[in-house]
């Protein structure tokens, strides 16, 4: 008797209500429909003022598989960038963000609504850009202990890179710095790096 109760009685919702007959079930555990994953990632990157990590995207999508979500983010980036918009999705290690394409920066930079960082952070960034490569201890000496937080903010946002050197670190600006501020934002000093 039970064999006559077939799938014909199920609501016609398509793949989301059928389980294994199609082979794959990419939305298992996910709160986002597979067909909209790329658009959700793209929308999240557009809305976020900061880079989004894979962990943040996992939480957003309701997914627990790190590699799977990273692959989704890469697919979303490729699909968006293929359309040749004036903005692009970019990858910084395991974080993703959205920005104006470099070739259009000069045309629209003046329209930015607010400074990216406060004055203290900008002064610390300017010091690194002008004197790089520079020891972190030298930056602290010039800018006082508040520069520790400034450096942390700049590292988090991808504008500085840091490499261990003895008991301190060597700081440099990144490609993102040049993409955002332009190659001539700060004149590079020819002074050698001070000894920590």
Asked whether residue 189 carries a pLDDT value surpassing 50, the answer given is: no
Please state the separation of Cα 4 from the chain's center in Å: 53
- Mean pLDDT computed over 2-6: 41
Measured from the Cβ of residue 166, the count of other Cβ atoms closer than 10 Å reads 10
Rounded alpha-carbon distances, angstroms, from residue 79 to 28, 39, 83, 84? 23, 10, 7, 10
Q: What is the mean pLDDT of residues 24-29?
A: 44
Dist. CA 36–CA 189, nearest whole Å: 49
Model pLDDT for residues 121-174, shown as the tens digit of each residue: 988 998 998 889 999 999 999 889 999 999 999 999 999 999 998 888 999 999
Backbone φ, ψ for residue 39 (5° rounding): -70, -35
Range 37-53 average pLDDT: 88
The domains found in the chain, sorted by start residue, are 28-105 (1.10.10.10), 119-181 (1.10.10.10)
104 versus 183: the higher-pLDDT residue is 104
**Residue 100 host element (H or E):** strand 95-100
Identify the helix (H) or strand (E) that includes residue 148: helix 147-156
């Amino acid at each position: 008797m039970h064999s006559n109760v077939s799938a014909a009685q199920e609501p016609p919702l398509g793949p989301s209500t059928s389980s294994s007959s199609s082979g794959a079930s990419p939305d298992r555990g996910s709160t986002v429909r597979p067909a909209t994953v790329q658009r959700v990632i793209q929308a999240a990157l557009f809305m976020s003022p900061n880079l989004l990590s894979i962990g943040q995207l996992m939480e957003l999508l309701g997914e627990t598989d790190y590699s799977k979500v990273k692959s989704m983010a890469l697919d979303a980036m490729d699909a968006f960038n293929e359309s040749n918009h004036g903005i692009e999705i970019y990858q910084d290690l395991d974080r993703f963000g959205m920005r104006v394409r470099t070739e259009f920066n000069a045309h629209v930079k003046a329209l930015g609504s607010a400074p990216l960082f406060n004055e203290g952070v900008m002064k610390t960034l300017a010091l690194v850009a002008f004197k790089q490569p520079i020891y972190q201890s030298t930056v602290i000496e010039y800018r006082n202990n508040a520069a520790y937080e400034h450096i942390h903010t700049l590292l988090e946002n991808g504008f500085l890179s840091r490499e261990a050197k003895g008991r301190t670190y060597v700081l440099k600006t990144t490609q993102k710095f040049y993409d955002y501020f332009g190659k001539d934002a700060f004149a590079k000093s020819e002074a050698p790096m001070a000894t920590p």
